[in-house]
Structure 1
């Protein structure tokens, strides 16, 4: 990487640097995900098998549904709480693995910005000392985000239902549309202020890192929000393209679920690299601002 990579970055430069680092350091980044996901996928397979999921071809695969009789289709439609519980329980190992993956990839980005080589195992080892603060920060962020979204959706749904009961259907529909658009932008901007909590927790040894992220994203919220939206759409397209046929032919089988989860994490590499770049860019800008404030104070 050239020395210009250390300068404050614009919207386009952050996107460009994201893909340059992924291309130049793809091997260690991929191996980080691969090494961490081996035990995670094994544990997921055990949970899914115990809770009744089939190994290769799920009951809801296209070939089974196509050849099923009406009686069999009714059977497929039956609610299976144990199998559904197993599916949600199998997501837990990914939750515990995500902070380690994001932290190790952040170390790769730090090495890339310095023009230094990076080895997957070494990056994982560097992340381990901060694993519990990273996990705790992730749990706290999830609780806060869920509480905000749940409370606002509940209040909005109650208001729309009240208007519908009072026969104010047009107002209820307009209000629902306004809340959807406003919620997307409002949630996006709010959570963007906290989006750098993992790199901040990792490199600055603060926990949970939400306050530090809030300060780092000051005056850059719209830029980071736009980057996040673009990369999320791109990741979703990649996930959809790679999961379309396996989802049709494998269904919710064990292999189908493992493939979906692995592809989702591989695609999330884009976001993990971008988060680290945004963190270093924001830190660089804030350091420059802090120095300028000191100079201004000294001159005064």
Structure 2
């Protein structure tokens, strides 16, 4: 057994183990994403070419390179391209491939969790064997993921409505009491910002507590696994949220830097999309490894608590 992955860990240890595993088993984990998502991204590139997007570089409008870069990223061109049947088909196909890539992304995360499970048991595995095991839980993962994303959608939609209504009332309050327009607008903006921040933190916390459903469905074979994930992360929700937040910040900064760098040279071209998809696979790999490390950390803690309870019950008898 791998002692590092089979004992409770602190915040820093989880991050350290995540990056260490991502580096040491990078090829295996990356092959999982490449096998599952690579063909989808390749088809997306072909559909972009069908829609008339240049492969190497798309130059936007503007008087200098920076304005051209911003214009190309926004999809601006010198003249509007006529909509063709091929363009419509390519757009619909890209949308469908986006849905499929989301589903396969969940399968890839499940395969990574399976791989980490083999590592913690000191067992060998290949990308192909991990993918095969993940596909055995395909329908359970699909149903659980649909439920998970429906819950998230509802959690995002409701706060937006509440914040929107709150903003309207705040504007009405300022007008009713003849508050200075600038001061009233400032108060409204601050009010909306605080609500958005509170909603984002609250939603992030809840999403984190439920996100371990992938491990529950894959390893414990319990579907949909959302309730089990909630119980599993009891008392560790904020730590898990913090780990995910750090991983998102690190991968987000790297992604943004690469987007800007390659965007300067390539614009919104097909090659630019391919590079971004490549980067997305790497950042998804790191996040999935982090999810797996935290999942097994939670399991080791719960198992230790269960063992302690059994010992205490035995002593009482």
CA 1:76/1:236 → structure 2, altered by over 3 Å: closer, same or farther? farther
1:148 corresponds to 2:148: no
Residues 36 and 104 of structure 2 are in contact (CA less than 8 Å); yes or no, is this contact kept in structure 1? yes
Q: State how far apart, in whole Å, the 1-side matches of 2:188 and 2:208 are.
A: 29
CA 1:219/1:78 → structure 2, altered by over 3 Å: closer, same or farther? farther
Deviation of 1:115 after TM superposition, in Å, equals: 2.4
Question: Which stretch of the first structure deviates more once superposed, 129-138 or 205-214?
Answer: 129-138
1:128 corresponds to 2:138: no
Residues 45 and 254 of structure 1 are in contact (CA less than 8 Å); yes or no, is this contact kept in structure 2? yes
| Among candidates 147, 152, 169, match of residue 162 of structure 1 | 169
Q: State how far apart, in whole Å, the 1-side matches of 2:34 and 2:294 are.
A: 24
Q: Secondary structure at the match of 1:208?
A: coil
CA 1:40/1:153 → structure 2, altered by over 3 Å: closer, same or farther? same
1:22 corresponds to 2:25: no
1:108-123 residue pairs with structure 2 within 5 A? 108-123=115-130
Superposed CA RMSD: 2.9
1:43-192 residue pairs with structure 2 within 5 A? 43-58=43-58, 60=60, 65=68, 75=79, 82=88, 88-167=95-174, 168-192=184-208
Alignment deviations for residues 112-160 of structure 1 (CA, whole Å, 9 cap, x no partner) = 2122332111111111101221122222211110111111112111211
1:296 corresponds to 2:309: no
1:34-49 residue pairs with structure 2 within 5 A? 34-49=34-49
Question: Which stretch of the first structure deviates more once superposed, 180-189 or 8-17?
Answer: 180-189
Higher-Rg structure is 2
Q: State how far apart, in whole Å, the 2-side matches of 1:260 and 1:57 are.
A: 14
Deviation of 1:108 after TM superposition, in Å, equals: 1.5
1:124-273 residue pairs with structure 2 within 5 A? 124-167=131-174, 168-273=184-289
Q: State how far apart, in whole Å, the 2-side matches of 1:265 and 1:280 are.
A: 22
Q: State how far apart, in whole Å, the 2-side matches of 1:78 and 1:226 are.
A: 47
Q: TM-score, normalised by structure 2?
A: 0.83
Q: Where in structure 1 are there 5+ consecutive unaligned residues?
A: none
Q: State how far apart, in whole Å, the 2-side matches of 1:133 and 1:79 are.
A: 40
Q: State how far apart, in whole Å, the 2-side matches of 1:207 and 1:161 are.
A: 42
Deviation of 1:49 after TM superposition, in Å, equals: 3.5
Question: Which stretch of the first structure deviates more once superposed, 278-287 or 133-142?
Answer: 133-142
Q: State how far apart, in whole Å, the 1-side matches of 2:276 and 2:98 are.
A: 11
